[in-house]
């Protein structure tokens, strides 16, 4: 159902972008949404739903057509992430990790052979991708990583553990960062493309989560895993710019997903407020409920505006948008969390009932405040850019 907010959300989109949003929304509501609660209950990964994205071009919107993808522009990619996340965190995450962190890095830093090998596989849906960045010792302080890459005959040996890895148990490609020498901090960081199914020395265990059980989050152990030279992405010791570029696009798509989740909270809370009655009135007639609806609406559109502006900067060819990516991720993830809290409050005790979606959305929105940089990290980055301590 269109909402009054759609007019502003769609205002300066092209006809193609508007039509695409409508098409993704219809697909997501019909094909994905009816399965999400069941998948969460059964802890089932959405393999068959992801396959449905492929013929529609929603699986690889950042991969150029020559590699089998459906790239149109970065803003369109953001709209796809937004609309998929509006119904399911996990399906949106499959697309966002594969396109932003992995395909985006291969396109920018990969050799021709790496592009030919991996991009068509991602676009066809045959090869889901994971990004192995976070370690048990911390995800925020990435330059201090402990997973090591040691030079050996014909390639590299990886040793270490990564945690919280989305899609790892289902992925055919890992984007991995490791260090040549921890003492060198960011100058030791090196990026690799690893085929987990063809590499000995990799084991994948489940990572216990209170929510998002359908995502099968994993911990990944590299125990002398051999990666041939062909798996090196960029140059040894020059992986930090690869990682920075990946996260730049990654934060854009996570922010777009947050806008989708924030919007979903409005979609659920508004009809509830106009159905539920107390004191012989619809609760939506009470000012304190109206305040929440107004705040949810304004913060969602503010977040959407900054995310779309970032997409347009990228489409205009602005090379690095690190400050803007941090701003978008910070604002949009906080909007998603606050909207989920407000939507729960409007639902009263039913917000905690498993019959309603809003309680699940709260933990899922909260997870978006951690992934690809916490709010504290992005606050620090925005301030450092503004104060001139850090450059784009």
Ligand X SMILES: Cc1cc2nc3c(=O)[nH]c(=O)nc-3n(C[C@H](O)[C@H](O)[C@H](O)COP(=O)(O)OP(=O)(O)OC[C@H]3O[C@@H](n4cnc5c(N)ncnc54)[C@H](O)[C@@H]3O)c2cc1C
The residue at minimum Cβ distance from ligand X is: 139
Q: Which is nearer to ligand X, 156 or 164 (CB)?
A: 164
Nearest to ligand X of 46, 57 (CB atom): 46
Which of 267/372 has CB closer to ligand X? Answer: 372
- Rounded least distance, CB 379 to ligand X, Å: 8
Among residues 286 and 370, whose Cβ is nearest to ligand X?
Answer: 370
**Of the candidate residues 45, 164, 174, 272, the single one contacting ligand X (CB under 6 A):** 164
113 within 8 A of 229, measured Cβ to Cβ: no
190: β partners:
178
Burial of 15 (0-12, 13-18, 19+ CB in 10 A): exposed
Q: How far apart are CA 81 and CA 77, in angstroms?
A: 6
Catalytic choice (82, 83, 135, 372): 372
Phi first, then psi: give them for residue 61, nearest 5 degrees: -75, -5
Rounded to an integer, what distance in angstroms lies between the CA atom of residue 219 and that of residue 109? 26
Contact residue for ligand X among 354, 376, 389, 392 (CB under 6 A): 376
Give the binding-site size for ligand X (rule: CB under 6 A).
20
Q: Per rule CB under 6 A, is residue 140 in the interface with ligand X?
A: yes
Is residue 125 a contact partner of residue 50, using CB atoms and an 8 Å limit?
Answer: yes
Among 18, 186, 282, 380, binds ligand X (CB under 6 A): 380
What is the footprint of ligand X within residues 329-368 (CB under 6 A)? Answer: 367
Give strand ranges (E) for the chain.
128-132, 148-152, 155-165, 171-179, 189-194, 202-206, 218-228, 232-233, 277-278, 281-282
- Give the ranges where 33-160 is alpha helix by DSSP (H): 33-42, 47-56, 74-87, 89-96, 104-109, 112-123
Closest CA to 122 of 156, 178, 74, 167: 167
Instruction: Phi first, then psi: give them for residue 237, nearest 5 degrees.
Output: 80, 0
- Would you count residue 374 as binding ligand X (CB under 6 A)? yes
160 near ligand X, rule: CB under 6 A: no
Among 72, 114, 166, 322, binds ligand X (CB under 6 A): 166
Binding-site member from 212, 249, 289, 344 for ligand X (CB under 6 A): 212
Q: In whole angstroms, how far apart are CA 12 and each of 62, 75, 254, 262?
A: 21, 11, 22, 20
Closest contact distance (angstroms) between CB of 115 and ligand X is 22
Does residue 219 sit in helix, strand or coil? strand
Q: Binding to ligand X by residue 286, rule CB under 6 A?
A: no
Give least dist CB 49 to ligand X, A.
Answer: 18
Considering only 118-126, 127-135, 309-317, 350-358, which stretch makes contact with ligand X by CB under 6 A?
Answer: 127-135
Active site residue 364: no
- How far apart CA 21 and CA 84 sit, in angstroms, is 10
User: Minimal distance in Å, beta carbon 184 to ligand X?
Assistant: 20
- Kindly state the smallest distance separating residue 11's Cβ from ligand X, in Å: 32
Burial 278-303 (b: 16+ CB within 10 A, else e): eeeeebbeeeebeebbeebbebbbeb
- The verdict on 205 binding ligand X (CB under 6 A) reads no
Residue 57 or residue 239: which is nearer to ligand X going by CB? 239
In whole angstroms, how close is the CB of 91 to ligand X at the nearest point? Answer: 14
Total length of the chain? 392
Choose between 147 and 297: whose C-beta lies nearer to ligand X: 147
Question: Can you tell me which of 91, 377, 381, 382 binds ligand X, judged by CB under 6 A?
Answer: 377
CB 63 within 8 A of CB 103: yes
Where on the chain is the footprint of ligand X (CB under 6 A)? Answer: 131-134, 138-140, 164-166, 212, 217, 367, 370-372, 374, 376-377, 380
**Positions marked active-site:** 372
């Amino acid at each position: 159902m269109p909402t009054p907010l759609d007019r502003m959300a769609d205002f300066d989109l092209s006809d193609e972008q508007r039509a695409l949003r409508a098409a993704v929304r219809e697909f997501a509501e019909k094909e994905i949404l009816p399965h999400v609660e069941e998948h969460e209950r059964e802890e089932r990964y959405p393999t068959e739903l992801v396959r449905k994205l492929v013929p529609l071009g929603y699986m690889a919107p950042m991969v150029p057509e020559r590699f089998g993808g459906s790239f149109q522009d970065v803003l369109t990619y953001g709209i796809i992430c937004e609309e998929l996340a509006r119904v399911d965190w996990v399906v949106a995450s499959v697309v966002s990790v594969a396109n932003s962190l992995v395909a985006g890095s291969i396109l920018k830093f990969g050799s021709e052979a790496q592009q030919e090998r991996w991009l068509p596989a991602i676009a066809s849906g045959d090869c889901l991708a994971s990004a192995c960045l976070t370690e048990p010792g911390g995800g925020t302080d990435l330059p201090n990583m402990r997973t090591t890459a040691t030079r050996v005959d014909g390639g590299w040996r990886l040793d270490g553990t990564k945690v919280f890895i989305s899609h790892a148990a289902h992925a055919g490609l890992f984007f991995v960062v490791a260090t040549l020498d921890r003492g060198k901090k960011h100058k030791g960081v090196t990026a690799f493309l690893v085929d987990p199914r063809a590499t000995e020395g990799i084991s994948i265990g489940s990572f216990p989560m209170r929510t998002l059980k359908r995502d099968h989050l994993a911990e990944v152990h590299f125990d002398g895993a051999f990666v041939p030279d062909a798996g090196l992405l960029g140059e040894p010791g020059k992986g930090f710019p690869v990682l920075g570029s990946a996260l730049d696009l990654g934060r854009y798509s996570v922010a777009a997903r947050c806008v989708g989740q924030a919007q979903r909270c409005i979609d659920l809370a508004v009809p509830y407020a106009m159905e539920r009655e107390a004191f012989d009135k619809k609760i939506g007639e009470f000012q304190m409920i109206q305040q929440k609806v107004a705040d949810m609406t304004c913060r969602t559109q503010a977040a959407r505006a900054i995310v779309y502006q970032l997409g347009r900067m990228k489409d205009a060819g602005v090379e690095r948008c690190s400050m803007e990516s941090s701003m978008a991720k910070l604002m949009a993830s906080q909007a998603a969390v606050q909207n989920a809290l407000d939507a729960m409050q409007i639902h009263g005790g039913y917000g905690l009932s498993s019959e309603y979606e809003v309680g699940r959305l709260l933990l899922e929105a909260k997870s978006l405040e951690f992934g690809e940089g916490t709010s504290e990290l992005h606050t620090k980055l925005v301030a450092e850019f503004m104060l001139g301590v850090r450059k784009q």
